[in-house]
Amino acid sequence: MQLHEFLTPADQVAQRTGPGNRIVLSSRVRLARNVSGFAFPGWAKKADRQRACDLLCEAVGRQPEMQGAFTASLDSLSAMDKQILVERHLISREHAAKGAGSALLLSRDESLCVMVNEEDHLRMQALLPGFQLPEVWRAIDRLDTGLEQSLEYVFSRELGYLTACPTNVGTGIRVSAMLHLPALVLDEQITQIIQAVNKLGLAVRGLYGEGTEALGNVFQVSNQMTLGESEAEIVERLSKVVAQVIEHEDNARARLLEKESKVVFNHIGRAYGILANAHSVSSKEAINLLSLLRLGIDLGTLPGTPRALVDELSILTQPAHLQANHSDKLTAEQRDIRRADMLRHALRDVRRPIVPPPPAPPLDKPPAP
């Protein structure tokens, strides 16, 4: 089966929602695991890496939650397919660069994805829309427990799970939430918030993880340490911090609406005006303007326009997704034109933003952490 036949279309992905989806785009947990008897992927010889890959793919594929999964060796995927998986946040950029001897398994509902021979033998992640860190933790814990019955993980009584990079040693867990924080950015509070979160031992990163830019006002908050704390403690601590960040974002939205509504409506109006009328839009500009449109929907300036429309466009306007809809290989310039054509068409029936009557519509409260 080809990847494009397996993957859920973007419009349906955008329909998936979870609690607190207004600000928390997604919740994710990933575990790093290695198995005894095989050198770590970075050290293994080609044949050994392939042998480990086959064995691991077989073991993962046997798990009940992976029935009907999409399984592929990385060398069987086109560069475009790999990029599409990165754009969907299903695999890392690093894994996309791998070839023979590395693989991926993606569950039927796309909530579980296992990268085989990325930096570690196994990088398994659970991904759900909205704010549901305990749920993703339970999902990945089930898969991990199932796998542990047939695989012997490299484990030290003192250190816990051993991993290729010392930053993952211990629990091997990375819990993260993807947050949409346009008001904190507009209100210039974001740097302060990031510093405060960092002081709590958590990392704040851009849209595509480590070392990437915070495009579209999207920030990924995750634990830094994997040693000295149980998985449940990490999940709980991150949940609490995320709940606080949500509160700050909500307060910033309320403050902006009250004190600087013209600034907010100016940003939203311009974003809408450009997206609905431009004939060339870069990927980066699209992400940033769609973020403001999403804020506009949250604030009631675009009554009748579902948030899912923006979320769908945020997926579809990315370079590989855009290329996938065209048989000819597009240049970046041609993509910018097709992207603009898609945006104008998608927004053709969306009326101009209005200034919502005060008081602003009630903001739905984030779930208790």
Residues engaged in binding a second copy (CB under 8 A): 262-263, 265-266, 269-270, 272-280, 337, 340, 344, 352-353
| Class of residue 230 by CB neighbours under 10 A (exposed 0-12, middle 13-18, buried 19+) | exposed
Nearest to a second copy of 153, 265 (CB atom) = 265
Distance (Å, whole) CA 285 – CA 272: 12
Nearest approach, Cβ of 329 to a second copy (angstroms)? 19
Q: Going along 34-95, which residue ranges are E strands?
A: 70-73
Closest approach, Cβ 274 to a second copy, in A, equals: 5
What's the rounded Cα separation, in Å, for the pair 214 and 307?
A: 20
Position of tokens 């005060």?
Answer: 358
CB of 269 to a second copy, least distance (A): 4
- Phi, psi (deg, nearest 5) at residue 339: -60, -45
- Shortest Å distance, C-beta 179 to a second copy: 26
Please identify, using beta-carbon distances, which residue of 138 and 270 lies nearer to a second copy: 270
Residues 6+ apart with CB under 8 A from 79: none
Closest to a second copy by CB, 72 or 186: 186
**Identity of the residue, 16 or 344, whose beta carbon is nearer to a second copy in the bound complex:** 344
Residue whose CB is less far from a second copy, 158 or 328: 328
Query: Long-range contacts of range 287-293, CB-CB < 8 Å, 24 or more positions apart?
Result: 287/207, 287/215, 287/216, 287/314, 287/317, 288/215, 288/216, 288/217, 290/216, 290/314, 290/317, 291/180, 291/182, 291/216, 291/217, 291/218, 292/182, 292/267, 292/268, 293/268
Q: Is the peptide bond before 134 cis (omega within 30 degrees of 0)?
A: no
Task: Please state the closest distance from residue 275 (CB atom) to a second copy, in A.
Answer: 8
Task: Give the nearer residue to a second copy in terms of CB position, either 64 or 304.
Answer: 304
Amino acid found at 317: T
The least distance separating a second copy from the CB of residue 340, rounded to whole angstroms, comes to 7
Tell the smallest beta-carbon distance from residue 280 to a second copy (Å).
Answer: 5
Q: Which is nearer to a second copy, 251 or 261 (CB)?
A: 261
